[in-house]
Amino acid sequence: MKKVKTLILRTAGTNCDYETQSAFELCGAVADRVHINTLIEKKNKIFEYDILVFPGGFSYGDDIASGKILSNEIKNKLGDEIKKYALSGRPIVGICNGFQVLVKIGLLPDPKFFKQIFTLSCNDSDKFECRWVYLKVEKKVRRESNCIWTKNLPDVISLPVAHGEGKFVSGNEKFLDNLNKNSQIVFRYSLKDGSEPEYPLVPNGSIGHVAGICNKKGNIFGLMPHPERYVFTLQHPAREGFNDRYGWGKVIFQNAVDFVI
Amino acid sequence: MFEIEVLTKEGFKNSRGEHVLSDIYGLGIEDITNVEYSTLYVVEGDISFGEIETIASELLTDKVAESYLIRRRDAEGNSEVISKFSDTKETGRLNHNFSVIEVWYKKGVTDTVSESVIKAVKDLGIAKKIKVKTGHKYHLYGKILQKTLLNTVAKKLLANTLIQKYKIH
């Protein structure tokens, strides 16, 4: 059987790379943590991999704004390669700080434009918010969206969040309408029964309670919560999960690995 | 020498300003009715106006939620606005009473954000030797704000006077 190769891009301040590597390995993939300087030296190395991951952390200390310095570096030094990789249809995921990078590079919501349309700004509370939250996986999304990452999930799952800048906002209402129309909003913060939440279960004040989006084609996925922190039931405060062993975060990584196979 | 001020655009939440206002109320001060926060960057070096515009628009400002003002500064600290992103708040401020508190690192204190900005300017393709200084600016709105009150706010909430200095104007 083909071994799926995953590239986990790291830089100064990345701190979720080991957990993400471990999650992909649990799903049967080979996962390498690669420093951005290595990739800048050997730009075509990226095409040796089937899946690209922008992990969570505090790249460059969140200086200027979260993900800003890394997205600036990628866009100016690896822009052509990253865009080509994204348009090839290979799976890409950005988790937390990685989501901020994807949005600021412009890979989300559409790599064809390669332009920033949305942003993830400071939480309404102006504080770092760290807790378990519920996420509604829109029914429509599971049936109609092309998102390869969110298949086989129940209607509501829980995942932990930990961020200071996760408020999903747009400068133009039309852009958000397009996301809705194209079933690109895959995760929204919710209550346990899937109904409308309030703070603190919406940790940041995101418009439409948006927690994760994908591109129209479904291969690129960004989310603020951390699925790599919930691959085993033991990681959940109430020991919930499936098959008495795994957490719902595992399903997200498994979906990408199975897609490549 | 250029100074870039990065502000929250109209219609977007100025979370830090609101947080500071809430802390001010916590001190029992009710004379201040609104606080707007913005970030300051002073860039020094052989850099052209075009390059500083690129740094402000492509690097320091989030195009969705923020806008910027660029000022030219002389050695005495006098400054004049020479460029601004279309929807900055500067004009709206003319009709209000406000005081400004700026917070900067003291000489000799490491400014880690400035080191990141210098790295990112190189990534942008601007291969000039520059120095960068970062600071914080708070517009405090209220009818007549006494200097003693502003000093209290600065010392208790805005500046860590061991490593930072503040300026009221």
- Chain segment A41-97, per-residue pLDDT in tens: 999 999 999 999 999 999 999 999 999 999 999 999 999 999 999 999 999 999 999
Cβ <8 Å between B119 and A60 = yes
* Mutate which: A11, A100, A126, A206, vs B, most B CBs within 10 A: A126
Q: Please confirm, yes or no, whether A147 is among the known catalytic residues.
A: no
Contact check, Cβ <8 Å, A72/B58: yes
Of A34-38, B82-86, B163-167, the one with minimum mean pLDDT is B82-86
In A, minimum Cα distance to B19 occurs at A126
| pLDDT for residue B77 is more than 80 | no
Query: Is a pLDDT exceeding 90 seen at residue B79?
Result: no
A9 DSSP β-pair partners: A34
Query: Among A11, A64, A123, which would you mutate to test the B interface (most chain B Cβ atoms within 10 Å of its Cβ)?
Result: A64
Homologous superfamily, domain B2-168: Phosphoribosylformylglycinamidine synthase subunit PurS (3.30.1280.10)
Q: Identify how many contiguous H helices and E strands chain B contains and give both numbers.
A: 5, 7
Encoded tokens for A191: 């209550």
Q: What percent of chain B has pLDDT over 90?
A: 76
B96 pLDDT more than 80: no
Sheet strands (E) in chain A: 5-10, 30-35, 51-54, 92-95, 118-121, 129-137, 156-163, 167-170, 185-190, 210-214, 220-223
Distance set, CA A61 to CA A70, A186, B41, B114, B141 (Å): 10, 28, 17, 12, 32
Interface of A with B (CB under 8 A): 60-61, 63-65, 68-69, 72-73, 76-77, 104, 116-119, 121-127, 167, 169-171, 205
More confident residue, B145 or A124: A124
Angle in degrees, CA B65, B71, B72, rounded to 5: 155
Instruction: Give the mean model confidence (pLDDT) for residues B45-72.
Output: 94
Return the number of CB contacts < 8 Å for A and B: 74
Residue B143's pLDDT band, with cuts at 50, 70 and 90, is confident
Domains (range + CATH), chain A = 5-260 (3.40.50.880)
Q: How big is the CA angle at A210 (ends A26 and A140), to the nearest 5 degrees?
A: 80
CB atoms B15 and A117 under 8 Å: no
Of A16, A96, A147, A214, catalytic:
A96
Range in A55-69, A79-93, B21-35, B83-97 with the lowest mean pLDDT:
B83-97
Between CA A259 and CA A245 the distance in angstroms is: 23
pLDDT, average across residues B91-105: 80
| B67 Cα to chain A: minimum distance (Å) | 12
Residue type at position A8: I
pLDDT of residue B89: 58
Q: Which of B19, B64, B124 sits opposite A72 (nearest CB)?
A: B124
Read off φ and ψ for residue B55, nearest 5 degrees: -60, -45
CB contact under 8 A, A61 and B113: yes
The distance of B108 to chain A (nearest Cα, Å) reads: 20
Q: What are the residue ranges in chain A where pLDDT is below 70?
A: 139-144
User: B64 and A72: CB-CB below 8 Å?
Assistant: no
Task: Check whether B95 has a pLDDT greater than 90.
Answer: no
- Helix/strand/coil for B15: helix
What pLDDT does residue A218 have? 93
The pLDDT score that the predictor gives to residue A141 is 55
Query: Annotated catalytic, A228?
Result: yes
CB-closest option in B18, B59, B63 to A64: B59
- Quick check: B120 contacting A, CB < 8 Å? yes
- In this complex, the residue of B113, B116, B125 whose CB is nearest that of residue A76 is B125
DSSP SS3 for B94: coil
Distances from the Cα of B80 to the Cα of B3, B33, B168, angstroms: 9, 27, 18
* Chain A residues closer than 8 Å to B15 by CB: 121-126
What are the domain boundaries of chain B? 2-168
Residue A125's nearest CA partner among A200, A57, A62 is A200
A240 in catalytic set: no
pTM: 0.93
A125 contacts B19? CB cut-off 8 A: yes
Mean of pLDDT values over B58-69: 95
pLDDT band at B144 (very low <50, low <70, confident <90, very high): confident
